[in-house]
């Protein structure tokens, strides 16, 4: 029984670590997409201003 408890403790610890990594990766992807859209919009507005 003690081995099962130790296994579950270890498993849940790694599961929590995995959840933290997934959340951090999700936030990083969201920030990256937002920054890229802003850069594309800025380049588009500069291009439109240069054409005028």
Is the pLDDT assigned to residue 27 strictly greater than 80?
yes
Confidence at 12, pLDDT banded by 50, 70, 90: very high
Percent of the chain with pLDDT over 70: 98
For residue 30, give both structure tokens. Answer: 């969201």
Whether pTM exceeds 0.85: no
Calpha distance 43→28 (Å, rounded): 22
Tokens of 8: 């579950």
- Residue with structure tokens 């990766």? 25
Q: How confident is the model at residue 50 (pLDDT cuts 50, 70, 90)?
A: confident
DSSP 52: -
Cα–Cα distance, 6 to 43 (Å, whole number): 55
What is the model's pLDDT at position 52?
63
Whether the per-residue pLDDT at 51 is higher than 80: the answer is no
**CA torsion, points 14, 16, 17, 18, in degrees to nearest 10?**
90
């Amino acid at each position: 029984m003690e081995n099962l408890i130790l296994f579950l403790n270890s498993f849940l610890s790694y599961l929590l670590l995995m959840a933290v990594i997934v959340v951090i990766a999700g936030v990083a992807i969201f920030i990256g997409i937002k920054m890229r859209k802003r850069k594309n919009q800025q380049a588009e507005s500069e291009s439109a201003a240069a054409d005028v």
